[in-house]
Amino acid sequence: MTERMTDTEGLMWRLEKDPFLSSTFSNISIVDQHLDFPRFLRRMERTTLAVPRLRQRVQPSPGNLGAPYWQDDPNFDIRHHVRHVALPQPGSMRQLLDLATLLTSDPFDRTRPPWQFWVVDGLEGGQGALIYKFHHTITDGQGGVHLAMQFLDLERDAPELPSLPEPEIEAALSHDNKSDVLRSALNDTLRIPIYFLKQAREMLSDPTNIPTASANTVANVRSLVKQLGDTDPARSPLWRKRSLRRQLEILRVPYKQLREASKILGGTLNAAFVTAAADAAGEYHRRMGVPVESLRTSMALSTRTDGSGSNAFTLVRILVPTGEMPIEERFAAINELAQNMKVGADTTDMTMPITMNMAASMGAAIPTSVLTRLARSQSETVDFATSNVRGPGIPLYLAGARLIGNYPVGPLAGVAFNLTLLSHDGNLDMGLHIDTAAITEPELLRTCMEESFAKILAVLVAVGDGGDHGLSGQQQPYV
């Protein structure tokens, strides 16, 4: 079977020519006992038949016309994608996080479908783990949650699903004529006027020409150039360097308590999430002796509907206050910004970066080297990234083991850190993905995050709710 990538998928695939712009994301699922690996392997084999994209690799379109396309991998082997490993003693959480960081950073073999799972034994306390990663072209974070329901169960002793009928297997593995791909690629070039492609190519092949280009050319690419022209640098005086060195930290906050605290403060849970990230980032700078009044964050906003494809999101950049102030004041400022977020927003404190669809539709007109240069320049305007992914709020099981922690690892794509939140069974589990060239004290940043969430939860005590609202599992965040 062959299927053309969407423009957005094609853009993300091309941008990864620059390793700093990798869109790979992963997840660490902690379970209460070792997984039954043979059982899980069978489940994943079935999942790849139910979700044919998992059996497809990426191929360039004929003559590089238009976006690449998905093609069935004739050498697909489930054991290449689902592997079984064990941690050395003592099997600490730090060892697991370091393993996950290494596996997430390792680039995909582009001759195979871009996803991998690792069943991990040997975690202390008799626990196990599942680390899995996807290239963003397969799906986004919310889509990944939906895909995970193919291999998760609602009870520990759920019976194994029956094998798919032969006709369904044959249909999943059927092949289409490549001429459809060529026809689609030609249509891609025809839907953009030739004169526009020529002007865009000439103009964007050397971005330094943008200020002096003719009025007609500027008018033709105005919608794109307006976004690319925003190169206001990131605000942090500390987080200037970028590298491929990574460290992963995790946090957990009780869902109900943070939601109630958000209501008391007059806003949403998402506003509380961004407030804590901004508060922690500001506190980190103060403790390092370099206070900063504001930082720019990028936020991934889901645009998913019933008819959405594998990727349905947009990005918005926000200047958030990070100077010293009461948490209530910071929350009010960020909540106001959050309430005003919408596609096309254009204010002093909030701007839309180059949209995925806009850049993607121009893919045929812009050389990959220029695209990556422009994307890197955009990433240099952002200090840190945040993303809030909605997960199931019920107990879930994985090959006979109960899921007790679910920590997402979002892509850095050129920023100092990415804080991604995933709701799970009464908790908000967070992965803090850090570039250690920018943030030289990652443990300090994690501590600041814990303290910032505690400040928000403290408003419950202030209004007379005397319950225990500290961070759940602060000492052992995976329990």
Mean pLDDT by 10 residues, the chain (479 residues): 77 81 91 96 93 92 74 95 97 97 93 96 97 88 78 90 67 52 40 42 46 45 50 87 96 96 95 97 98 92 54 73 97 89 47 49 62 75 91 89 96 94 94 97 98 96 61 41
Two tokens, residue 240: 């200037």
Q: What is the pLDDT of residue 160?
A: 86
Element spanning 316, H or E: strand 313-321
Q: What is the pLDDT of residue 413?
A: 87
By the 10 Å C-beta count (0-12 exposed, 13-18 middle, 19+ buried), 380 is classed as middle
Rg for the chain, CA atoms, rounded: 23
Q: What is the pLDDT of residue 359?
A: 54
Q: What is the pLDDT of residue 136?
A: 85
Asked if residue 1 lies in contact with residue 118, where contact means CB atoms within 8 angstroms, the answer is no
CATH 3.30.559.30 in the chain: give the residue spans. Answer: 246-391+408-462
- Going from the C-alpha of 470 to that of each of 105, 447, 457, 461, the distances in angstroms are 32, 13, 7, 11
Q: Are strands 127-134 and 25-31 parallel, antiparallel or unpaired?
A: antiparallel
CA 276, CA 435: separation in Å to the nearest integer?
A: 19
Grouping H, G, I as helix, E, B as strand and the rest as coil, residue 387 is: strand
What distance separates the 2 farthest-apart alpha carbons in the chain?
Answer: 69
CATH T-level fold of 2-179: Chloramphenicol Acetyltransferase (3.30.559)
Asked if residue 217 lies in contact with residue 270, where contact means CB atoms within 8 angstroms, the answer is no
Contacts 24+ apart (CB under 8 A), 146-154: 147/47, 147/51, 148/27, 149/392, 150/46, 150/47, 150/50, 150/51, 151/40, 151/43, 151/44, 151/47, 151/398, 152/396, 152/397, 152/398, 152/403, 153/396, 153/397, 153/398, 154/394, 154/395, 154/396, 154/397
CATH 3.30.559.10 in the chain: give the residue spans. Answer: 2-179
The architecture of the domain spanning 246-391+408-462 is 2-Layer Sandwich (3.30)
Q: What is the pLDDT of residue 138?
A: 87
pTM over 0.75: yes
